[in-house]
Chains A and B, each alone.
Chain A
């Protein structure tokens, strides 16, 4: 069976991670920021899976499960925060949240 080279998996994970990071940094809509964060989390999850498959270890799978749980919790909290933010400011523009400016 032809296996996907491990480098491909890592490169894909890296690209996904960078895309997510760019999304977090550039998007102003806080919903998209949250989605980009999800992408970053999944990118790191992918990296774990690939590594686990390459070296035949189960820990990678376990880590992915953990990341999954973490992502679910994060989304729950994040969405809650977004709703609060919208109630308060009537907008989802993240630049509005600059009251802590020194």
Chain B
């Protein structure tokens, strides 16, 4: 039964091929079932494999489909490696992915490029599964680049609008920076350890390198670069908010659930490497902390419903990085899972809102929608509660695990914990700011919403995700074998005060949000009156000026160089070759007079020359 694991990426790939080989011309009634059905089959197989795996009691299972290439001692294969970590990931990807696909069959039903959309989605899921199931870093890298490509294609899905194309290119280029760093990391690992099989590589690293040695630091730093790019963490976080240009199911599929958490997966997968480089691991935590705080501020100022969710995604992945950085590995993966539930829920519900309001994304042009859009209202309510870690929702358990993990770290641990708690406060504010503005108060809609769009294939996934977002915290994630350092669940012994603070702070955030945006006890306008506040608002709205900074430091100089070097210096050498050939051609062309008699003369003259040469020699 476990051998069936190769079917997991195969089904979506087949779906992709079926959709793409028909040139995207399949009618919706066929393309929809193919697109969503392939993922559904994948999920069925994943569930089978997972239950079999859990019953078997194996620590890990490897299945080699075939050898990819074989060069000397280097022979990576299409080999799938199943353990607790990849099992959790594959269930999230196929399960949440299936719900999103199902939702998308409704969401995209009036789009002319329906089949093209599903072909990209299927390719994405296939690549993502290869990423998490690959037993060697080469296969992982194949999936890594595959999801990058699909993310590019899907962000720019509505390519007739140039800004979407710009957002797609930005996402591609920025993540490419991280990918390059990761590729160099792979080269380094292979050069030093002679293998890219993840488990062998980790064993070899533990044998050959000491803790804190230069190679361990360099390798983990380079891998971290890749993770930071893919997971939209500081300093490569700028692409994710712009990536919201794609259709909303994409935002749910790629930019909430699986893809952006690939970086978290990578670090968790290679965690022994990071444990051997404590300084880098601390850097991971620091990156997570700074990112979650910065994007928390930014999310509070945004007005686009999807951008708010995007910044909250960045911030939640910051929590995961914080968890990874403090060594709370399974807590980070746990948060990854619960985040996949509630963030997919929020994104899909926002899709319903956007579609019901005729593609309106500005929250200040919404308002009072709770009667008109009941399903979205409850989805948002539950999703927001889980996101703010309201007690006993899924987000509460996972975020608590991370923060308690941070607290256990000696020395700086307390500060990480404090930062995380402050971040949770902001999460409460921005999440419920969105919630109150959209669903309560007076309506500011330009086009009053008609009936809530929906149907079983859009509402069904929402209801399922609501259940998961509520109860997902009670799922036990079988990661104890993977992270064998005994930081399981419920082992934290901290005072009731700490627990109280962690429960109270998000509620405090919600309360602040309530006072500002619901009861209007405090006025935002008053707060915004001073010049300083305006400046701060503009600064945070622009995402702490990172885009401006990168434009000034990287993009402008590059464009300047490109303009200066318009007549490519290197190219001038080849241009010289062309010029010389053309001149020679001009000379020789003169001899081609077209006159028959001239040709005859040259033949005769040549003959004379040859003969006389022959006679004299």
Q: Give A101's nearest chain B residue, CB to CB.
A: B594
Q: A24 to nearest B CB, angstroms?
A: 6
Among the stretches B75-83, B213-221, B470-478, B596-604, the one at the interface with A is B596-604
Q: Within the complex, which residue of A21, A24, A98 is in contact with B595, where a contact is CB–CB below 8 Å?
A: A98
Chain B residues lying within 8 Å of A97, measured Cβ to Cβ, are 594, 596
Q: Are A101 and B601 in contact (CB under 8 A)?
A: no
Q: Are A100 and B604 in contact (CB under 8 A)?
A: no
A101 to B590, alpha carbons, bound, how many Å?
9
Chain B binding site: helix, strand, loop or mixed by DSSP? Answer: helix
Q: Are A101 and B593 in contact (CB under 8 A)?
A: yes
B589 close to chain A: CB less than 8 A: yes
Chain B residues lying within 8 Å of A76, measured Cβ to Cβ, are none
Chain B residues lying within 8 Å of A4, measured Cβ to Cβ, are none
Size of the A side of the interface (Cβ < 8 Å), in residues, is 14
With contacts A24-B597, A97-B594, A97-B596 taken as known, whether A102 is within 8 angstroms of B604 at the C-beta atoms is no
Please report which residues of chain A, range 69-102, place their CB below 8 angstroms from some CB of chain B when the two chains form the complex.
94-95, 97-102
B592 close to chain A: CB less than 8 A: yes
Q: Give B588's nearest chain A residue, CB to CB.
A: A102
A25 close to chain B: CB less than 8 A: yes
Q: Give A28's nearest chain B residue, CB to CB.
A: B597
Q: Are B592 and A102 in contact (CB under 8 A)?
A: yes
Chain A residues lying within 8 Å of B600, measured Cβ to Cβ, are 24-25
Q: A60 to nearest B CB, angstroms?
A: 20
Q: B423 to nearest A CB, angstroms?
A: 77
Q: Are B594 and A25 in contact (CB under 8 A)?
A: no
A25 to B603, alpha carbons, bound, how many Å?
11
With contacts A21-B604, A25-B601, A25-B604 taken as known, whether A102 is within 8 angstroms of B596 at the C-beta atoms is no
Chain B residues lying within 8 Å of A33, measured Cβ to Cβ, are 597
Q: A85 to nearest B CB, angstroms?
A: 11
Chain A residues lying within 8 Å of B596, measured Cβ to Cβ, are 94, 97-98
Chain B residues lying within 8 Å of A94, measured Cβ to Cβ, are 596-597
Q: List 26 A-B contacts (CB under 8 A).
A: A24-B597, A24-B600, A25-B597, A25-B600, A25-B604, A26-B597, A28-B597, A94-B596, A94-B597, A95-B595, A95-B597, A98-B593, A98-B595, A98-B596, A99-B594, A100-B594, A101-B592, A101-B593, A101-B594, A101-B595, A102-B588, A102-B589, A102-B591, A102-B592, A102-B593, A102-B594
Other contacts beyond A94-B596, A101-B592, A101-B593: 16, CB < 8 A: A24-B600, A25-B600, A25-B604, A28-B597, A33-B597, A94-B597, A95-B597, A97-B594, A97-B596, A98-B593, A98-B594, A98-B595, A99-B594, A100-B592, A101-B594, A101-B595
